Every structure is written in structure tokens, then in C-alpha cells.
């Protein structure tokens, strides 16, 4: 039907279609862009869509509903027992300052270790031990933040991270 004439009321003829369709005649209120035709009773574009259930609208509405349900705030890990309350201000500040100090001192030890590796020929145990101490210290510090609601556990993690930091100081100065 490549050579046949367009049907009356189709977008190619410039005539408006009936129902909740788009109009192709710019003088009748529609456009060639696929914008819903204005409702004849209210004059509002797409007013007939209000009576259509959300599941039938599809497209953007369904996508927005799906994203809303996926991004709703909910706990990442469900823990059995009573819900824990967030830590108060002062312990949380102390936790953050302690972890920041561990990070800064660990960064200094890492830079010093890099200089030792580049400038000298350190023993074969130096690189693996420095890397292992650094990774364990970072993991323990991160565990301190993750367990901030667990009472004594974050302080234990940061204490262990401090012990690992002291061990990495001893390792880096002995090379």
C-alpha cells in the first residue's frame, strides 16, 4: 500500500482523530509532536488521561512509580532484636576525630613507605607487610563507622585499627 492515499482522520491528512489521540492539525490545537489532544470539555491537554488507571498509562508514570518503590528509605541490614538508636553527638564526634587521625597518620606512613621503596631497596618483607597493615587498618576503621550504633563495638574496631597503625609504624621504621 505504498502508493495509496492516506485515510481520512489520520495524522497525514491533517485531520483530528477521535478519542484520546493526538491531533496533527496545528490549527485544531495539536501538533505533529505526539502531544495529547486537548479535551473538548476542559481544554486541558491530556485531561482524558485522568480517568485511565496508572497501570494503563505506562511509560513515564510507570517508570516513576518503579523508581519511587526502589529508592524508598529502608534499612540495608535487618538486625534481630530491638532497634538501635543513633549515637548521640559527642561520641559520634569523638569517633569521627579518632578515625580522621588514624587516616591522616596512616597516609603519612604510606607516603613514607613509598619514599623508602623508591629511594632504597627495602627487604622483601617490607612491601607486603606495609600493604597488609594498611588494608587491615582501613578495614577496621571502616568497620568502626559501620558499627557506630552497636555500643562498644566501634570503639573496639578503632582500638584495633590503632594497634595496627602502631604496628605499621614499627614496620616502616625498621626498614
Q: Taking the domains of the chain in order of start, what are their residue ranges?
A: 89-173
Beta bridge partners of 36: 22
Q: How many CB atoms within 10 Å of residue 117?
A: 14
3-state secondary structure of 97: helix
Buried/exposed 122-131: b ≥16 CB within 10 Å, e otherwise: beeebeebbe
Higher per-residue pLDDT: 157 or 14: 157
Tens digits of residue pLDDT in 106-135 = 999 999 999 999 998 899 999 999 999 999
- pLDDT tens column, 15-65: 444 444 444 444 444 445 555 555 555 555 555 555 555 555 556 777 777
**Global pTM value:** 0.52
Helix H or strand E segment including 93: helix 89-119
Band (pLDDT 50/70/90 cuts) for residue 90 is: confident
Amino acid at each position: 500500500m505504498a502508493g495509496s492515499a492516506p485515510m481520512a482522520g489520520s495524522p497525514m491528512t491533517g485531520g483530528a482523530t477521535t478519542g484520546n489521540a493526538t491531533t496533527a492539525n496545528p490549527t485544531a490545537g495539536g501538533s505533529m509532536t505526539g502531544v495529547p489532544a486537548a479535551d473538548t470539555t476542559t481544554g486541558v491537554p491530556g485531561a482524558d488521561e485522568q480517568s485511565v488507571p496508572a497501570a494503563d498509562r505506562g511509560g513515564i508514570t510507570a517508570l516513576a512509580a518503579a523508581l519511587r518503590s526502589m529508592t524508598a528509605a529502608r534499612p540495608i541490614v535487618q538486625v534481630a532484636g530491638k532497634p538501635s538508636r543513633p549515637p548521640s553527638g559527642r561520641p559520634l564526634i569523638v569517633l569521627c576525630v579518632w578515625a580522621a587521625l588514624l587516616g591522616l597518620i596512616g597516609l603519612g606512613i604510606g607516603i613514607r613507605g613509598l619514599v623508602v621503596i623508591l629511594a632504597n631497596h627495602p627487604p622483601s618483607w617490607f612491601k607486603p607487610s606495609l600493604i597488609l597493615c594498611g588494608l587491615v587498618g582501613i578495614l577496621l576503621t571502616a568497620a568502626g563507622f559501620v558499627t557506630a550504633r552497636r555500643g562498644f563495638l566501634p570503639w573496639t574496631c578503632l582500638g584495633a585499627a590503632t594497634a595496627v597503625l602502631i604496628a605499621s609504624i614499627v614496620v616502616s621504621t625498621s626498614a
